[in-house]
Amino acid sequence: MVVGLLDGRVRSGAEPLLRPDDAGAMRGEGVFETILVQGGQPRDLPEHLARLAKSATMLDFQGPPDADWLHGVHAVLGAFPGGDLVLRLVSTRGPAGAPPTCYVTGTPVPDEVLRQRVQGVAVLLLDRGFAGSDAAAAPWMLTSAKTLSYAVNMAALRHARSMGADDVIFVGRDGAVMEAPTATVVVVRDRTLVTPPLDGILDGITVVRLIRAAQDAGWATAYERLTPDDLSAADGVFLVSSVRLVAPVTSIDEVPRPGAERAGELLDLLDAPPR
């Protein structure tokens, strides 16, 4: 791992960086973004910087300006010239009375990500414990911020793996499909692309890119309530996110499902030049 500081210095991932009293380490109070770099080019960097700032605002702190982040980003990119990698931008609230702790990491793209793009993922449907529609009444749940508090999401993934699956699709208490722990759910029906409404879930950057490109290519698109039955009936179900891009869902609760071959169409849409 390479670490870029916002003054442009580069460090090894083995060097200590956080104070023990940093609120990010003490309580998970912070925000982050993960960005895929292909051939030295970060994908959707302005959108990720905008969401990082929005997430920090939702936690009532202000991170550094974009220009400072770009120093950190370019410091890391310089260590992987022209390469493919994963960038992670992290901003904690910092220690009490001190400014946020901010850094950028660069790591190789994990083999598992590359494998899941091709082979797909077996998913379990898991109860989210609340309904997406509850989130508006409880904004402190921060469901639409990308915070460092991912312990619940990671626990769900470990549970799935202990049951022999690769990933999870959360279902709300109202029976509506929500999201995966690190991805947005997308359903394909013929030339229509459907994704759940944003209630109680993260506003994904990849799905927005996908929807725009699909519309440009003449597809119909919709944010629509989906149930597990809708997933079973779809031509294809996919998890989409910034680093994995598109992972076809090959089974749900151990029931195999078709449609994985349509992942290529979605990948092509994601590679269409942005509007």
Ligand X SMILES: Cc1ncc(COP(=O)(O)O)c(C=O)c1O
Instruction: Provide, rounded to whole angstroms, the least separation between the CB of residue 95 and ligand X.
Output: 26
116/241 with CB nearer ligand X? 241
Write the CA distances from 88 to 1, 32, 33, 85, 192, integer angstroms: 11, 7, 6, 10, 32
Q: Which is closer to ligand X, CB of 183 or CB of 252?
A: 183
Residues of this chain that bind ligand X (CB under 6 A) = 34, 179, 182-184, 202, 204-206, 241-242
Closest CB 10 distance from ligand X, rounded Å: 25
- Residue among 95 and 231 whose Cβ is closer to ligand X: 231
CB of 12 to ligand X, least distance (A): 26
**By C-beta, is 24 or 204 nearer to ligand X?**
204
Residue with tokens 């494998």: 115
Contact 1, 109 (CB under 8 A): no
Question: With respect to ligand X, which residue has the nearer C-beta, 116 or 206?
Answer: 206
Sign of CA dihedral 244, 69, 207, 227: positive
Using an 8 Å Cβ cutoff, are 186 and 219 in contact? no
Q: Which of 11, 24, 16 is CA-nearest to residue 147? A: 24
| Distance from the Cα of residue 157 to its chain's centroid | 14
Least Å distance, CB 7 to ligand X, is 27
Minimum CB distance to ligand X, residue 183 (Å): 5
* 10/109 with CB nearer ligand X: 109
* Least spacing, CB of residue 172 vs ligand X, in Å: 14
CA separation for the pair 186, 109 (Å, rounded): 23
What is the rounded (10 degree) CA torsion for 194, 200, 201, 205? 80
Distance, C-alpha 79 to centroid of its chain: 24
